[in-house]
Structure 1
């Protein structure tokens, strides 16, 4: 199965994403495979569980950037919402935003695992 086919459910703009990697699908694939081992989500989850606002902001901001660079816009957007809720001191939105990040992150991992396995 081709990586574009597997990642299509979580990548909204495949063409732009591939261009970001100079048209080199194999380079994008390399970074996607590394993404599943990245600890940023774990850091965000831990910060959320500890109600550590600064750590949540850092981890969510990092996740936002990583996801955007990989073409995972929905995960990037969910992470941006988490950053915004921390910066605006809106703990009433943390649970909702964390759930959105969790859902999008899991969808990305599921897609990557389909390709990697």
Structure 2
């Protein structure tokens, strides 16, 4: 099976995983306690969505290596932050351990891809 060319940030495997996982987090977080609405719920939703948003921004900044890497670094940081919130949700018993492991693992996959691109950005950059 042939790989399809990447035409937009939405074609990136990291983006697809991050988007799907952010949507799972959104659905699961609807069941978090009301007292968490302005803390953990908002934080985990914000950071999980930010992984995708920063990837989209990075994609559009491929003309400039430093800007591209900076946005990928932001995405990486947001993915790691989301992993921390996942740990809190499991420890607070708002999410079962197996679901937490699955979501955490998804972000490990995203982080692996991001680090690979950050360490070798040249194939991704737009040639002038």
TM-score by length of 2: 0.39
TM-score by length of 1: 0.42
